[in-house]
Structure 1
Amino acid sequence: MMDSSGRTAVPSIKRLDEAVVNRIAAGEVIQRPASALKELLENSLDAGATSISVVVKEGGLKLIQISDNGHGISYEDLPILCERHTTSKINSYEDLQTITTLGFRGEALASMTFVAHLTVITMTEGQIHGYRVSYKDGAMEGEPRPCAAIKGTQIMVGLGFSFQIVSLSW
């Protein structure tokens, strides 16, 4: 690259836009649909699920849906569920020495929201209904809406620009 005097210009160092940084980080965590599915399965197992159902469309390029009968996600946790570095599995650095869960970094769901549309339906023990909420770029879109559900969690990851959830059946 030349400057106006014909000399070679030295490129300046600049900070990357936050959206670019998050998508790079997402690529490091979620390299392909199988990586996303692995992370979702680990979350279901860590939630104590004894039954897990998986739906994959077009090899996971169109849709990955996982439903479990685990403990569910509390309403209070939904606003930060898909933020980077949020987890229910560790509290301090020392906890890493005794970690007994499969996934604990708090990166997987956040990463998925930077490359796909993510919708969660969840219900915990004792609730009279579940909640449905969508996430994009690490943030909740709107407020959680009450919905029919069973105890546990269903996560739908729609990849590509044309993804829409047309209907859900429970």
Structure 2
Amino acid sequence: MDTNDQQAIRNLFDKLANVERQMPARDAEAENYINAAIARQPGAPYYMAQTVVVQEHALNVAQTRIEELEAELAGARQAPQGGGFLSGLFGAGAAPRQATPAAQPMRQGAPGGFLAGAAQTAMGVAGGMMLANVLGGMLAGPAAAEEAAPEDEPGFDEGGGMDDVDW
């Protein structure tokens, strides 16, 4: 474990302590259920901590990208719309595009460290959840598929053509 690992774990538990101070009431039944699950899988808190750290990093990267895109959109809306009808073809009046900085990779610790396995753990958890959803859909049978199937819309030969549009 290196200083990055320690900092990531410290930050996580600082946030958890803050939540615990703000919302001290917990569902006793859920807490007992979680404690029983941890008793069966004592390594679970370690992997949960890794997953939370990776997910928080992913959310921060996504938030940064959203802010960049919103700023880009605001700039595009404020840019003067000069030129004629075909000027956009030749780049006239277009604001120069700025290169988007690449997302900062999550700092990896030394091989075998806490953060070194965090991405792999998070992928395993997310992959397992996706697999469970896929299998759940497959095992639900044709009745569930029929419920999810979109209703048929009339085709052109069934009165669903463009003739119904008022121009």
Instruction: Using CA pairs under 8 Å that are at least 6 residues apart, name the structure with larger relative contact order, 1 or 2.
Output: 2
| TM above 0.5 | no
The bucket for the TM-score relative to the shorter chain is under 0.3
Structure that is richer in helix per residue: 2
Give the TM-score taking structure 2 as reference length.
Answer: 0.22
Larger strand fraction of residues = 1
Query: Which protein is bigger by CA-based radius of gyration?
Result: 2
